[in-house]
Chain A
Amino acid sequence: MIRVILPTYLQRLANVGREVQLEVDGDITFLELLDVIEEKYPMLKGTIRDHVTKERRAYLRFFSCGQDLSHLAPETLLPREVLIGKEPFRIVGAMSGG
């Protein structure tokens, strides 16, 4: 089970609380995690990453295990702590606005 923490706006859009839990089988990559999120919450398609290019939105970041994982290749496996639900995978609206 993977725990994902969503930014406030995406919580509203998906009509969920701060943390959602996703059942997955085995080890999965960043790309596969985003696929799972969008499959369960289709209203989030196009918000975390571009529909077509699959590029992460410029002002969103992926944090987990005390690290910024935003720039890792999409095919990178998620950290073990995320896969077992020990650490949440946080989708964060990056600091901006001066």
Chain B
Amino acid sequence: MSNVRVLVGTRKGAFIFTSDFRREKWDIKGPLFAGLEIYHIKGSSVDPQRIYASQASDWFGQVSHRSSDGGFSWETIGNKFDYEGKVGTHQDFSGDQIPWKFRRIWAFEPSPTEKDTVFAGAEDAALFKSTDGGMTWQELPGLREIHSNMWMPGAGGMGLHTILINPKNPDQMFVAISAAGVFRTNDGGQTWSGINHGLKSEYELPNPEAEVGHCVHSITMHPSNPNVLFMQKHWDVMRSDNAGDDWYEVSDNLPSDFGFPIAVHAHEPETIYVIPIKSDLEHYPPEGKLRVYRSRTGGYGWKELNEGLPQKDCYVNILRSALAVDTLDSCGVYFGTTGGQLYMSPDSGETWQTVAQNLPSVLSVEVQVLQ
């Protein structure tokens, strides 16, 4: 029988929740790395016992950790992320050009095929690769050749926060950066192109259809259909049917098309989830009602899912990496909030349970199904 392991990164450490396939009773382990921000904690699909955790703070900088036993023990791994070649400059909030500076790792993405290969998304935005299980890192500098002097930080920093690897062709990868946009490589990261055609950012950019500069909050794909990408942009939920060459809006009847995370059902490639937030200023659910929205048609029509979620006086946010699904037959959906709640649905979002109520503010949620 399968077990489920949920990896949660928070402002004050990491937590690991485990349950059997029923997902009714949860054991909690943590806080790991107590007191320190864990931006992301994610396991390898090649070796699920291998887990990477990114810890970053203004006190001690970036510290990276790796477990080889499912999170029971940890070792520190490489934390030297050195930009290749001429560092270059990017826009600051002031409009000035400032040099790239490494601040933290926002996301680890283990390779779907090679146990010791893992990618890391950095702030200031860049993509790094390790082929020795995270001990040493090399930048893939071609990414920063794409008009990077026009990139600028979002409110959370200029982070490369999302890394998608095409499981059918691991040389094809997609990354998302706030506020630069989406980029694709077809050659394992050597060369890149911006794939932002169709995005419109009329409130954020002087040229709403600029080639780069869009505040893309999150992107996702279903592994069976990597040509179809879904995006939660600053405003707008978007979709591409040609691996990012063109995007079009699928916000449809959402109460707000502002939000941070987006996820796709494990077994239904056209079923997607978002969690609407009221606005770019008011980072909480519309009307104080926490609702997940699901579209079973790839964005053409959204259904409100609220059974078991607070429907009054709820003013939490759900950050871009804090929504995930499991791969059990009845797909589980999980999300964590800035208020420290961890919610899960064992039935594709129809009903919700509270797994934890009083965690530190949740930064990321990832799920593993263990055979």
Please list the residues of chain A having a beta carbon within 8 angstroms of any beta carbon in chain B. 7, 9-10, 13, 43, 45-48, 50-53, 57-60, 93-94
Contact = CB atoms under 8 A, between A and B. Distances in A.
A50 B83 CA distance: 13
Contact of A47 (B60, B81, B101): B60
The main secondary structure of chain A at its interface with chain B is loop
B57 to A, nearest CB: 8
B59 A51 contact: no
B59 A46 contact: no
Contacts of A46: 61-63, 79-80
Nearest to B59: A59
A59 B59 CA distance: 5
Contact of A57 (B36, B59, B79, B101): B59
Nearest to A10: B60
Nearest to B65: A13
B76 A59 contact: no
A25 B25 CA distance: 59
B79 A51 contact: yes
Given A13-B76, A52-B102, A47 B82 contact: no
A43 B60 contact: no
A93 B57 CA distance: 11
B58 interface: yes
Contacts of B82: 51-52
A2 B61 CA distance: 25
A59 B35 CA distance: 15
Contacts of A59: 57-59
Contacts of B62: 46
